[in-house]
Amino acid sequence: TGVGVGRPHESAELHVLGQATYTDDIPELRGTLHAALGTSSKPHANITAIDFAQVLASPGVVAVYTARDIPGTNDCGPIIHDDPIFADGKVEYVGQPIFVVVADSHDNARRAARRAQVTYEELPAILTPQAAHAAKSYVLPPMHLRRGDCQAAFERAPRKLKGTLYVGGQEQFYLEGQIAYAIPREADGMHVYCSTQHPSEMQHVIAHALKLHSHHVLVECRRMGGGFGGKESQSALWAAAAAIAAKKTNRPVKLRADRDDDMMVTGKRHCFWYEYEVGYGDDGRIVAAKVDMVSRAGYSADLSGPVATRAVCHFDNTYYLSDVDIRAACGKTNTQSNTAFRGFGGPQGAIAIEYIVDEIARELGRDAYDIRKLNFYGKDERNVTPYGQVIVDNVIHELCDQLEESSEYRARRQAIDAYNAGSPVIKKGLAFTPLKFGIAFNVTHLNQAGALVHVYVDGSILVNHGGTEMGQGINTKVAQVVAHELGRDLRHVRVTATDTSKVANTSATAASTGADLNGKAAQDAARQIRDRLAAYALRLYGGVPGVLAGGASGAASEADAAAVEEVLFYDDTVHVNGHAIPFAELVQKAYLARVQLWSDGYYATPHLHWDPKAMTGHPFSYYAYGAAVSEVAVDTLTGEWKLLRADALYDAGDSLNPAIDLGQVEGAFIQGMGWLTTEELWWNAGGKLMTHAPSTYKIPGVSDCPEDFRAALFKNRNVEDSIHRSKAVGEPPLLLPFSVFFAIRDAISAVAGHKVNPPLQAPATSEAILKAITAIEASR
Ligand code: MTE
Ligand code: LUZ
Ligand code: MOS
């Protein structure tokens, strides 16, 4: 009971009724002030003077604070400490915060923030990854992973091709923007409500900025209106600025970004620039692959290092690459500091090899799906990744066979060829793309989690864990796990806000590991309670003679432990020796007998290791797999297109909650489709992001979703001992809409009889589509 069944999201009803409280819905305390940030208008400059006279004279303004007013460290960087909260003497991108204004209202603060007179001395700016690469301007040392002898393999290869590719970045576009509400408490305490995926990191940053200890700072988050990676590290700026203002004024301060500020200030998915070279056989098998990738890191490191590492470790995607040479660099540019976004570099790594395979197929005049299959990882051979992890759970062959059949791929390919032969303007395209995604933080020590489970005397259960709810359903899944352990109906289990004073030293809810890690930790806690209850039940209802003479608080020997195993918890009832005792009744009795009814729990993912210098090891606990088939129609005169049908099959292992997992698959598909098609970040020559609102930045709408959308879960069971043998689902399905991009490319290539590789870059906006069509028509 409890796990493996589709249950509604724990807050579904509240979401629909508008009753779910987000940070901005928390009733404001009397005396609450509102803050706004003053930001840079130059991409790279020294600040020679700032005149705040007009800001301070603005209606309702209480104070202005700059870097000089920070009691502790002026830093909100997650790993490398190169991220000032407020620019100090130098700005490095348009939108960089320089100061915070505190006023009596949100509007007054925002209006005042624009009235500062900042004098700049401009410096040269670098805006693109290509320019950063040329100038060897990096935020971190470049990375290199190689296996075999690429050079020799190239020389032997019957065929070769090389090229370049640009794949744009992506704004997280969470519905709820960045926000923090800081409330000073007695004796240097600071309580901060914050929309964040990483409460513990917020606690650290605030403590350092205020020159306090971690135990002074409490960070709380009931839920986010989406995070998508954008609140993994970059909620810190807002949390710190609000806390600094609250500390200085000794009043509650709320800092809520409006959409434009949010987009101008915070980092996004990294865009990538690739130069690749591949050697392959006449059959399409890759024998040598070389890629040089450069990301647009922005002005600081943030999470760009681990993002690049994940890109390197996903360049293989589902393909065995015997001789391979992968370089990755994080280009330092005078733009927002790019950060985590669903997939965390994985999509950027994998799309490069998919592009290459697509090119090989067209060069050979073959169906790209056949070339993909030919290069798949094997089961017992050709099963070692470039970074040395042996793949033991490969299901890509079966999964693709199933999708090939259910999507009627072959028949539709023929139908589309026939359609295109008679349709000069509208061209249809079809693509089948696979995915493999490594599950675990690629920074090993982050793979740990804690939980706290309380059983109250009335039998109700309260769960707290280190993960954060951002809509992905972690609380529902963790509640299901606890309900299952204690045999309780889900309605008796409630999950509370994430709170740094309940579970300490948590990792970000990220890398899709939230339910894996916190589910295991909560299971550990629930099992301890169950074992104590079972031992007590055995004491009450007989059974093994002599058991538990030692005390009520736990099993005393191996024999006792075995006996405890025989106590069963299901249907809100505890079953022991032919007795069936209502759970709530047993709990009542146990309390009176002084049995501890609450417990903490802990989990650390086993078997992980990683050598960052050599870029080898066993960074992932297991792999998740998936594949999708997309069919599009492209108007070759206007560049407009439509997704006609999408079939997606995803391996969530033995899913904890198939309803939630399907929602994740569909959501990730549409989000990834937006990344690769309509969402375009565009900076002007002065380094200003011009697409900083939904008026110019286009995420997919309801009408962009395919009318015929067939998402399904692949029947599987994790070979790794994950929580109930499920697999993570948050990020990997973002790679499914590669199929949309390559279907568009397929439709374009129909213009030239599939004889030329269209130079299509991502996002495949209508403009990019027309450019690619023009290019292949010119080369005919
Ligand atoms: N789903 C919703 N609805 N909202 C989100 O912000 N974030 C994604 C994914 N799914 C997100 C989401 C990202 S980036 C990650 S890493 C995972 O959820 C995090 O949650 P999990 O580890 O509990 O799956
Ligand atoms: N590694 C990773 C990380 O694989 N995913 C993440 O989200 C992450 N975050 C911080 C550091 N390493
Ligand atoms: Mo997700 S990008 O790991 O927050």
pLDDT level of residue 560 (50, 70, 90 thresholds): confident
pLDDT level of residue 1 (50, 70, 90 thresholds): low
User: Which residues, judged by CB distance below 6 Å to any ligand atom, belong to the binding site of ligand 2?
Assistant: 232, 303, 306, 310, 340, 344, 441-443, 446, 508, 510-511
* Distance separating alpha carbons of residues 223 and 176, to the nearest angstrom: 10
- Cβ–Cβ under 8 Å, residues 376 and 435: no
Would you state the pLDDT for residue 552?
45
> Which residue, among 534, 449, 452, has the nearest Cα to 487 in the 3D structure?
534
Q: pLDDT tens digit string along 107-120? A: 999 999 999 999 99
Only one residue has tokens 């790679």, namely 735
Mean pLDDT over 303-328 rounds to: 98
Distance 776 CA to ligand 1 centre (A): 39
Q: Is 474 in the pocket of ligand 1 (CB under 6 A)?
A: yes
* Distance separating alpha carbons of residues 331 and 265, to the nearest angstrom: 18
**Could you write out the DSSP letters of every residue in 13-42?**
HHHHHT-PPPGGGSPPPTT-EEEEEEE-SS
SS3 690: coil
* Distance separating alpha carbons of residues 52 and 62, to the nearest angstrom: 12
Nearest-ligand number for the alpha carbon of 729: 1
CA distances to 7, 17, 41, 375, 755 from 13, rounded to whole Å, are 12, 6, 43, 46, 53
- Helices 199-210 and 236-249, axial angle in degrees (round to 10): 40
Q: Which sign, positive or negative, has the C-alpha torsion 602, 603, 604, 607? A: positive
Helices (H), 18-120: 53-56, 106-113
Mean pLDDT over 276-289 rounds to: 98
Atom of ligand 1 nearest to the CA of 227: 6
* Distance separating alpha carbons of residues 651 and 726, to the nearest angstrom: 9
For residue 557, pLDDT over 80 is answered with: no
Distance 438 CA to ligand 2 centre (A): 12
Atom of ligand 1 nearest to the CA of 668: 10
Q: Is 229 in the pocket of ligand 1 (CB under 6 A)?
A: yes
Would you state the pLDDT for residue 548?
44
Atom of ligand 3 nearest to the CA of 512: 3
* Distance separating alpha carbons of residues 762 and 769, to the nearest angstrom: 10
For residue 61, pLDDT over 60 is answered with: yes
CATH 3.90.1170.50 fits 12-20+32-124+172-265, yes or no: yes
Please state which CATH class domain 448-604 belongs to: alpha beta
Q: Is 657 in the pocket of ligand 1 (CB under 6 A)?
A: no
Would you state the pLDDT for residue 126?
98
Q: Is 515 in the pocket of ligand 1 (CB under 6 A)?
A: yes
Only one residue has tokens 């900042």, namely 118
Global ipTM: 0.98
The active-site residue, picked from 176, 408, 731, 767, is 731
Domain 448-604 in the same topology as domain 272-442+612-778? yes
For residue 505, pLDDT over 90 is answered with: yes
Q: Please give the span between the terminal C-alpha atoms of the chain, in angstroms, as a whole number.
A: 62
Half-sphere exposure of 519 (CA within 13 A, CB side): 27
Q: Is 471 in the pocket of ligand 1 (CB under 6 A)?
A: yes
Mean pLDDT over 466-470 rounds to: 98
For residue 500, pLDDT over 50 is answered with: yes
* Higher per-residue confidence, 158 vs 564: 158
Distance 442 CA to ligand 2 centre (A): 6
Which residues share a beta bridge with 676? none
The residue whose C-alpha atom lies closest to atom 18 belonging to ligand 1 is 730
For residue 542, pLDDT over 80 is answered with: no
Q: Where are the domains of the chain?
A: 12-20+32-124+172-265, 272-442+612-778, 448-604
Q: Is 510 in the pocket of ligand 3 (CB under 6 A)?
A: yes
Would you state the pLDDT for residue 543?
62
Q: pLDDT tens digit string along 386-444? A: 999 999 999 999 999 999 999 999 999 999 999 999 999 999 999 999 999 999 999 99
Distance 623 CA to ligand 2 centre (A): 16
Mean pLDDT over 514-533 rounds to: 98
For residue 214, pLDDT over 90 is answered with: yes
Distance 440 CA to ligand 2 centre (A): 8
Atom of ligand 1 nearest to the CA of 467: 23
Measured in degrees and rounded to the nearest 5, phi and psi for residue 69 equal: -90, 0
For residue 549, pLDDT over 60 is answered with: no
The structure's pTM equals 0.97
Distance 609 CA to ligand 1 centre (A): 24
Distance 343 CA to ligand 3 centre (A): 6
Which of 233, 304, 441 is the best mutation target for the ligand 2 pocket, counting ligand atoms within 8 Å of the beta carbon and taking the most?
A: 441
Instruction: Please report, rounded to a whole number, the percentage of residues in the chain having pLDDT higher than 70.
Output: 98
Mean pLDDT over 718-732 rounds to: 98
For residue 635, pLDDT over 60 is answered with: yes
CB atoms within 10 A of CB 70: 23
SS3 772: helix
Q: Is 603 in the pocket of ligand 3 (CB under 6 A)?
A: no
Would you state the pLDDT for residue 213?
98
- Cβ–Cβ under 8 Å, residues 564 and 535: yes
Which of 176, 195, 342 is the best mutation target for the ligand 1 pocket, counting ligand atoms within 8 Å of the beta carbon and taking the most?
A: 342
The residue whose C-alpha atom lies closest to atom 3 belonging to ligand 2 is 441
Q: Is 369 in the pocket of ligand 3 (CB under 6 A)?
A: no
Q: pLDDT tens digit string along 246-265? A: 999 999 999 999 999 999 99
CA distances to 41, 139, 249, 434 from 332, rounded to whole Å, are 19, 5, 36, 32
Burial of 117 (0-12, 13-18, 19+ CB in 10 A): exposed
Atom of ligand 3 nearest to the CA of 509: 4
Burial of 188 (0-12, 13-18, 19+ CB in 10 A): middle
Q: Is 514 in the pocket of ligand 1 (CB under 6 A)?
A: yes
Helices (H), 214-258: 236-249
Q: Is 232 in the pocket of ligand 1 (CB under 6 A)?
A: no
* Distance separating alpha carbons of residues 467 and 469, to the nearest angstrom: 7
Distance 389 CA to ligand 2 centre (A): 18
3-state SS, one letter per residue, for 548-573 = CCCCCCCCCCHHHHHHHHCCEEECCE
> Which residue, among 375, 370, 373, 380, has the nearest Cα to 398 in the 3D structure?
373
> Which residue, among 493, 466, 472, has the nearest Cα to 481 in the 3D structure?
493
The residue whose C-alpha atom lies closest to atom 16 belonging to ligand 1 is 510
The residue whose C-alpha atom lies closest to atom 4 belonging to ligand 3 is 229
Atom of ligand 3 nearest to the CA of 232: 4
> Which residue, among 426, 303, 433, has the nearest Cα to 356 in the 3D structure?
433
> Which residue, among 727, 669, 649, 716, has the nearest Cα to 401 in the 3D structure?
649
Q: Is 512 in the pocket of ligand 1 (CB under 6 A)?
A: yes
Tokens of 34: 């509102």
Q: pLDDT tens digit string along 132-142? A: 999 999 999 99
Distance 441 CA to ligand 2 centre (A): 5
Mean pLDDT over 672-695 rounds to: 98
For residue 551, pLDDT over 50 is answered with: no
- pLDDT averaged over the chain? 96
The dihedral region occupied by 622, where left means phi > 0, alpha psi between -120 and 50, and beta the remainder, is beta
Distance 730 CA to ligand 1 centre (A): 5
Please state which CATH class domain 272-442+612-778 belongs to: alpha beta
The residue whose C-alpha atom lies closest to atom 2 belonging to ligand 2 is 441
Q: Is 480 in the pocket of ligand 1 (CB under 6 A)?
A: no
Would you state the pLDDT for residue 771?
97
For residue 232, pLDDT over 80 is answered with: yes
Mean pLDDT over 482-487 rounds to: 98
Distance 774 CA to ligand 2 centre (A): 40
Mean pLDDT over 603-625 rounds to: 98
For residue 185, pLDDT over 70 is answered with: yes
731 belongs to the catalytic site: yes
Nearest-ligand number for the alpha carbon of 731: 1
The residue whose C-alpha atom lies closest to atom 3 belonging to ligand 1 is 471
Atom of ligand 2 nearest to the CA of 443: 12
